Structure 1
Amino acid sequence: MHQLTTRILIALVLGAVTGLALNQWAPDLFQSLNQYVFDPAGNLFLRLIMMLVVPLVFLSIVVGVSDLGSPKQLGRMGLKTVAFFLGTTVIALTLALTVATIVQPGDPGLLGEGLAENYEAAEAPPFIETLVNIIPNNPIEAMSSGAMLQIIAFAIFVGLAMAVLGEKVTTVKSFFKQGNDIMMTLVTFVMKFAPIGAFALIASALGQAGWSAVFSLGAYMLTVVGVLLIHVFGVYSLLIYFFGKMNPLTFYKGFFPAMTMAFSLSSSNATLPLSMKIAQENLGVSKQVSGFVQPLGATINMDGTGIMQAVATVFIAQVYVADLSLMDMVVIVLTATLASIGTAGVPGVGMIMLAMVLTQVGLSPAGIALVIGVDRLLDMLRTSVNITGDAALAVIVDRSEKRRGALPSHDSGDV
């Protein structure tokens, strides 16, 4: 994975230099290379990503929900955990949309008037209609048309039914898990082409837009990083202090080794053994709570990924000169929150989820070309945010259960 990161970063630099050099000194040569090399290679990579969206979302959410266990058996701890994760995801998305709308990192018309003219914004349906339409008339039709909210809703229903039936559907559950494993393998396979895709996409984007794209892309990166920092050191600190009754400085000092490991691996799942060990040894979280909350968080808690998706969607909409209505914002929050239930904690899945969100609000997935070149850097940061949220809730639930007398108390670092 470190080799892939290095290759993507090298491809990003080479693509940026190539695109800017051709834009400045050989625009005619750029047009030929873009038509026969950059654009086809970039589109091929995007098609590989889009190929995985529907099956990955459906299978991963079914597996994620079914793993929650019987709703009757989830009990108090399960309800707390799920409610907290979904709640912080909504906060993260709302914060990201607000900051991105205020900062406006996307330079309107960045890629030229032709791109803006080719984009036709669909009129947003009424809010009630959007809520009603979440339930599909025909799940198969929803999958074929890529209606992501409907696909997510159906996947949640299937996952809940499997959780209720338990051992009666062991064979079916194994089928879905194996199918999800296949999709994860395909994601890993597709990401091997990420350096080529990153080179082609960034060279094409910068070759068309020139230096103005560099400054706008820098504004996008700073916006994402800024919101991630606000969410971690603002939102999480307040939750840890008021609900976890722990000094946030004690928390971050104790959990820092796991955060650095997540930064280097860009994978919540790969960091999970270390993050659980550190939460138990450095933060005083019981094994029962840590063993339940943190693995579940690696499946359904993706605040950092949601922040990237929200900022990227606003950024791409601004570049396309497309206005996002309040209804579009609500759809982004709904789609990304529900999708977080099944977003796998492995590198590369964030881009697939972004393609899903863009499609849901009527934006072309080709807009991924604008952000994929720098996504690997941001992926490292948002993975650290994701696992920090898991550990923060583990502390909160652990302290809550101990106050109820459900667990032995051996706290440290109280406020």
Structure 2
Amino acid sequence: MEKKSGINGNSVPECPSSIAISKVTTRDEPKTCKAKFLVFLKKNILVILTVSGVLAGAGLGMMVRNMHLTRVQMTYFAFPGEILLRMLRMVILPLVVCSLVSGAASLDTRSLGKLGGIAVSYFFVTTLIASAIAVALALIIKPGVGAGALNTNTLGLERVTTNKQTADSFLDLARNLFPANLVAAAFRSYATEYKIITVGNFTNGSSIYQTVPVGTDTEGMNILGLVLFAVVFGVALKKLGAEGEGLISFFNSFNEATMVLVSWIMWYVPIGVMFLVGSKIVEMEDVVLLVTSLGKYIMASILGHIIHGGVVLPLIYYGFTRKNPFSFLSGLTTAFITAIATCSSSATLPSLMKCVEENNGVDKRISRFILPIGATVNMDGSAIFQSVAAVFIAQLNNIELNAGQIFTILVTATASSVGAAGIPVGGIITIAIILEAIGLPTNDLSLILAVDWIVDRTATVVNIEGDALGAGILHHINQRELKKQRRQQREEEEDEELMEVKVEAVANTQAEEEASPLVIHLEPGQTHGSSPDSAQEKDAMESIL
């Protein structure tokens, strides 16, 4: 080894250093494991803190529950959790609008239409499958059979009254798609209410009354209208070309700044989640009575969420991508915990977008275009518990559902989930629409509302899981199309190069007897440089060489 080092001077320091490195790595193996653990801890610290916040919140809630707090004290106790919800809702508007505008403007019109068509088809099919699973489970488990004596009085519940017609509900959905005032859509949405007016008098003097629908503005962001406007506005900016680049850059910068805000808010999530979970446990009154009375309904709903979220959606993802869906889902842990704590798809959107992009490597153009739309129109988990609730209330009132009514439940649950608000207790209105569509009484909705806070947590998890897997599928399809386009471009370039070589070879083959393109024939008495064409002939020869 020394002789070799004497011949090659560069190898003199090489051998001792390599030996030293091998000795160091052998000696420092425990430190390497520690370093790996620190890297893992650094990468997953937010997930660990969030899970710890849930566990700490459960323990804190059980401790404070025994203190019998007043309503005012409960409000103060829940204050840190309320701050988290307010911060998450604060970034929803800029996140949805800016991400959709920049996403629609960054995609060309053809790919935008193709991806949008695939996304809508995916959302519709998965929601329809979810509704079918829910109805099948409800008919098998029969949660409402034998519970006819159950009513709001025995559980001490307030009645929920709703008199909204099915037709008006779907008309409101269409009206909200096209908001009359874009600024007002940021904090208000359109809703139909009913007013009794006098339309005439009988001959005996008594008045004739008629109920007419009247449009009103209700509190709550009209996300559906904002989503449609943002997508169309992004496409319009793309059509402007160079003139729209400045505004596209503005929305891109606004979007990136919003994501920075989201990353800061995420560090407050463990504290907020702890108090959200703790305050919910403190607020619970007689959980045992509710769970035992409505246990079969809760079981049917959660079982539907487990089947759809744990089997159906992963199978669809695997069928498109041939990749392990559970490794994809493992990167969404923080978003899942946020969904459990907040019960809101809209409030979970910032966390979901961050997890999908950073942990699963989904293209930002895809995620920021699809996820806001999915948070608005894709409600698989909500469709499940709404369909179960409709069958449950029918069984509670001893009403046998026929095939037509079951089909109506499937279609209505799928269609009305599009307009369901992505907020806690937003699905109760949708259940009322389903009940009206199949002619069932809505006076038992308070039973559903009593346990909605339990079922809505797993429903929100399934909602955002469907959105995230849809973004993963679209990312895979987009990557496959890009590879296909690049392969076609390479093949076209190779064909063009071959054609150029053939053309040059034919142009330089001037000899009749010799086939070699390097041989150039001269006319008698002609030498190189004696003709003006000699320079062209020389260039032709160099091109072949």
Q: Secondary structure at the match of 1:180?
A: strand
- Contact 1:244–1:397, Cα closer than 8 Å, also in 2: no
Tell me what 1:87 maps to. Answer: 125
Deviation at 1:265, TM superposition (A): 1.1
| CA distance, structure 2, for counterparts of residue 281 and residue 94 of structure 1 | 34
Shift of 1:328: 1.1
Which position in structure 2 is the counterpart of 1:376? Answer: 453
Read off the aligned partner of 2:336 and give its amino acid letter: M
Write the distance in 1 (CA, Å) between the matches of 2:418 and 2:443. 25
Q: 1:404 aligns with which of 481, 485, 490?
A: 481
Match of 2:376 in 1: 299
Distance in 2 of aligned mates of 1:366 and 1:336: 19
TM-aligned CA distance change 1:179 to 1:403, over 3 Å: same
Question: What is the aligned partner in structure 2 of residue 357 from structure 1?
Answer: 434
Alpha-carbon distance between aligned partners in 1 of 2:331 and 2:441, rounded to the nearest angstrom? 43
Deviation at 1:372, TM superposition (A): 1.9
In the other structure, the counterpart of 2:40 is none
- Superposed CA deviations along residues 80-127 of structure 1, whole A, max 9, x for unmatched, are 1111111111000001001110111113352279x9xxxxxxxxxxxx
What pairs up with 1:105-124 in 2 under 5 angstroms? 105-108=143-146, 110-111=148-149
Paired AA for residue 171 in structure 2: F
Equivalent residue, structure 2, for 1:183: 218
Give how far 1:325 is off.
1.5
Residue 171 of structure 2 is matched in structure 1 by 154
RMSD: 3.9
Q: Deviations over 1:298-348 (max 9, x none)?
A: 100111111010111111111111111111111112222111222221112
- Contact 1:108 1:321 (8 Å CA) reproduced: no
Matches within 5 A, 1:137-152: 146-148=164-166, 150-152=167-169
Instruction: Identify if the C-alpha distance between structure 1 residues 385 and 82 changes in structure 2 by more than 3 Å, giving closer, same or farther.
Output: same
Query: How far, CA to CA, are the matches of 2:168 and 2:125 in structure 1?
Result: 21
Q: Does 1:103 align with 2:112?
A: no
- How big is each residue's C-alpha offset from its partner over 1:368-401, in whole Å with a ceiling of 9 and x where there is no partner? 1222221101111111110011000000001001
Matched residue type, 2:388: V
Decide whether the 8 Å contact of 1:258 with 1:271 is kept in 2.
yes
Contact 1:258 / 1:275 at 8 angstroms: preserved in 2? Answer: yes
Structure 2: how far apart are the matches of 1:214 and 1:280? 38
When residues 159 and 252 of structure 1 are mapped into structure 2, their CA distance, relative to the original with a 3 A threshold, is same
The answer (yes or no) to whether the contact 1:401–1:407 under 8 Å persists in 2 is no
Fraction of identical pairs, as percent? 32
Residue 326 and residue 271 in structure 1: after superposition, are their counterparts in 2 closer, same or farther (change >3 A)? Answer: same
Deviation at 1:260, TM superposition (A): 1.2
Q: Answer 1 or 2: which has greater strand percent.
A: 2
1:132-281 counterparts in 2 under 5 A? Answer: 146-148=164-166, 150-155=167-172, 158=175, 162=178, 172-180=181-189, 183-185=218-220, 215-281=292-358
Deviations, residues 54-101 of structure 1 (Å, cap 9, x unaligned): xxxxxxxxx99xx9999x885111111111111111000001001110
Unaligned runs of 5+ in 1: 15-62, 116-143, 163-169, 188-193, 410-415
Answer yes or no: is the 8 Å Cα contact 2:119–2:474 preserved in 1: yes
Query: In 2, are the aligned partners of 1:304 and 1:385 still within 8 Å (CA)?
Result: yes
Question: What is the DSSP-based 3-state SS (H/G/I as helix, E as strand, rest coil) of the residue aligned with 1:365?
Answer: coil
Choose 1 or 2 for highest CA Rg: 2
* Structure-1-length-normalised TM-score: 0.62
Q: Distance in 2 between matches of 1:372 and 1:245?
A: 40
1:324 aligns to 2:370 (yes or no): no
Q: What SS does the aligned partner of 1:102 have?
A: helix
Q: More helix per residue: 1 or 2? A: 1
The answer as to whether partners of 1:105 and 1:216 remain within 8 angstroms in 2 is no
Q: What TM-score comes out, normalization by structure 2 length?
A: 0.48
Higher relative contact order, chain-length normalized (CA < 8 Å, sep 6+): 1
Question: Match of 1:313?
Answer: 390
CA, structure 1 residues 274+176, in 2 after alignment: closer, same or farther (shift >3 Å)?
closer
Q: Secondary structure at the match of 1:183?
A: strand
**Alpha-carbon distance in structure 2 between the residues aligned to 1:290 and 1:387:** 12
Q: 1: CA distance between counterparts of 2:306 and 2:150? A: 33
**Which ranges of structure 2 fall in alignment gaps of 5 or more residues?**
1-53, 67-95, 154-161, 191-216, 223-279, 487-545
Aligned pair partner of 1:284 in 361, 377, 389: 361
Matched residue pairs, number? 297
State how far apart, in whole Å, the 2-side matches of 1:294 and 1:155 are.
Answer: 23
Distance 1:178 1:215, change over 3 A: closer
Shift of 1:178: 4.5
Q: Residues 391 and 109 (structure 1 numbering): CA distance in 2 closer, same or farther, change over 3 Å?
A: closer
2:411 and 2:306 mapped to 1: Cα distance? 23
Query: In the alignment, is the contact (CA less than 8 A) between 2:187 and 2:219 conserved in 1?
Result: no
| Counterpart residue type for residue 313 of structure 2 | Y
Match of 2:418 among 336, 341, 344: 341
Q: Tell me how far 1:159 sits from its aligned partner.
A: 6.1
Moved more, 295-304 or 251-260: 251-260
Going from structure 1 to structure 2, the CA distance change for 1:406 and 1:287 (only over 3 Å counts) comes to farther
Q: Is this contact kept in 1: 2:169–2:433, CA < 8 A?
A: no
Contact 2:187–2:220 (CA under 8 A) maintained in structure 1? no
